[in-house]
Amino acid sequence: MLCVRKSYFLPTFLLVSLAYILFSSLPPGAEIPYNDNPTEHGPPPPGPSKGDDLIHYRKQPELHPVDEYIPLPTGAPTPIPHIQHDFPVESWFTRRRRVKKQNAVRNAFKHAWNGYKKHAWLRDELSPLTAEYRESFGGWAATLVDSLDSLIIMGLTDEFEDALQAINQIDFSTTGATQINIFETNIRYLGGFLGAYDLTNGSYPILLKKATEVADLIYGAFDTRNRMPQSRWEWTRSALGLGIQPSRNTILAELGSLNLEFTRMSQLTNDPRYFDAIQRITDRLESAQPRTQVPGLWPMMVDAHDMEFNDPRFTVGGMADSVYEYLPKEHMLLGARTNQYRKMYDAAMNSIKKRLLFRGMTKDGKDIMFPGDIRSTAKDNIEPQAEHLKCFLGGTVGIGAKVFNRSEELSIARKLTDGCIWAYDVMPTGIMPEALYVSPCKNPDDCEWDEQKWHTDILRRFAEYTKGEEAAQSIISSNKLPPGVTQIPDPRYNLRPEAIESVFIMYRITGDKELQDAAWRMFRNIEKMTLTRFAHAAISDVRNPHSRQLDNMESFWLSETLKYFYLIFSEPNVVDLDEYVLNTEAHPLKRPSGST
């Protein structure tokens, strides 16, 4: 018997050893997608960053090199008017109430951050219902990088140090994605590193090192015949030395919203390539601006291959928003050393006021405004659609009014901001939907509530022109339309920041405590509806106080939304708008000089 047992020992040992070797190290992508110990760094980076057989981006000789780089504007900066309100010293009681609200926002951030750290560390995004993860932006830990400056602002030092250690593991030379979205990579990753670097006064060189890795990577997308970037970059072609070309269907925002980050890179590194890249785009946009079908504005889609602007759709919302946002901000970041962005802003703002803005009819006569859309230039009427994405405009107009001495437009900025606050307040959940149509006033200067007009607008919106009062009432009931709202085509809330962004900016400009009160209402309603066991989730229908939650939490929840809620309850010198410019992902970039 003993001999028989010995005869099986060796093969059994070999089989067990082989099984251990085969299964103790799972293939890339097969790792368990979370770690039960929140103090540990969770799963390693996604498989694509580890595979030796994958393509890694290495700069090839340029096929369309630049003969001479456009330099940063030189000379002393021109004084820029003061933006922030001169806040008085607050009382002990006022400070106590403010800090209590600030801490509530900080705790919400910590809850979401801990959920990400425990279940999706070094991944792009946490799935807040299932505690899994998703790779949405190249697989380079988007939430981690996007949140770096939020950690600094909120004084979460230990968490920041952990994140700082982790970014060494991010390999920006490769990705499992076949295309790289240049715009998203720019605002989230490059902006994230630069914001944290500037907030810490350059104390952590690793942040500029990683920023340079990102900037050098996406700079490859500019190697085209006309030096316009291929916005959805076929990066493997460039890595193999093959040619690329810009798309004939390029989203305007993806073409014209690279200014701040690339400018800041040239300022910090003294490398002119980055500024040269975006200045060529700006010059093209400026040249086209008076020649579009709505002079002063650019259409939603651009033929970046031939630089034609023939699309008949115009908006300041999704697909266009940050182009207009960056006009006054780039002016500030350049220290007003050029008037180019002032002129472009003047032309854009004059056209926005004339062609896009309308007053919404409300039951209480509130004087609020919204930017609509132009869907066809054959019609002079605007589409009275409000979007959460458009809510940035109040803050942008407020900043433009200050830095360009257009003080008469401060009231427009406030009315736009109040319009978004109203859209929050009228919903049963206290949260604004992604998109809604509003009944426009016939006369913006004299706009009393008109029930019949509201019903007529609803019937027109639902193509029920010939039907009457009973049909309108049925539509209102079945679609849960608050007074003044004619349709809600997208009732979701995706954890978006644009409304609180403008509320924050207008508070810093005016010092009006009503804006803080509005922010607190918004925050409490959002947290109530979005809180999950692991973090916070988007919701499917803001008309339903028991709305179903959705299993996604984009990185801007931590980078923007909660940051703006925190900042509106911070002391005014925290991210002072006279010292920093916030990119469209809320990353603070240091201005070259203060205000007058």
- Catalytic residue status for 321: yes
Q: How many CB atoms lie within 10 A of CB 375?
A: 16
Spot the catalytic one: 162, 184, 303, 346: 184
Spot the catalytic one: 498, 501, 560, 585: 498
- As beta bridge partners, residue 357 has 371
Spatial separation of the C-alpha atoms in residues 460 and 449, rounded to whole Å: 18
Residues 451-459: contacts with CB under 8 Å, at least 24 apart: 453/361, 454/361, 454/483, 454/484, 454/486, 457/486, 458/486, 458/487
Question: Is 584 among the annotated ligand-binding positions?
Answer: yes
Which 8-state DSSP code applies to residue 84?
Answer: S
- Catalytic residue status for 498: yes
Residues contacting residue 486 through CB under 8 Å, at least 6 positions apart: 384, 437, 438, 439, 454, 457, 458, 460, 461
Place of tokens 């257009």: 406
CA distances in angstroms from 561 to 33, 332, 592, listed in the order given? 26, 23, 26
Spot the catalytic one: 124, 159, 321, 501: 321
Place of tokens 């990088």: 145
Helix H or strand E segment including 98: helix 92-120
SS3 at position 299: coil
CA-closest candidate to residue 200, choices 588, 594, 596, 593:
588
Spatial separation of the C-alpha atoms in residues 135 and 170, rounded to whole Å: 13
CA distances in angstroms from 55 to 50, 124, 235, 473, listed in the order given? 11, 20, 10, 60
Spot the catalytic one: 434, 457, 554, 578: 434
Spatial separation of the C-alpha atoms in residues 118 and 126, rounded to whole Å: 10
**Could you list the active site residues?**
184, 321, 434, 498
- List, as residue ranges, the binding site: 584
- List, as residue ranges, the binding site for Ca(2+): 584
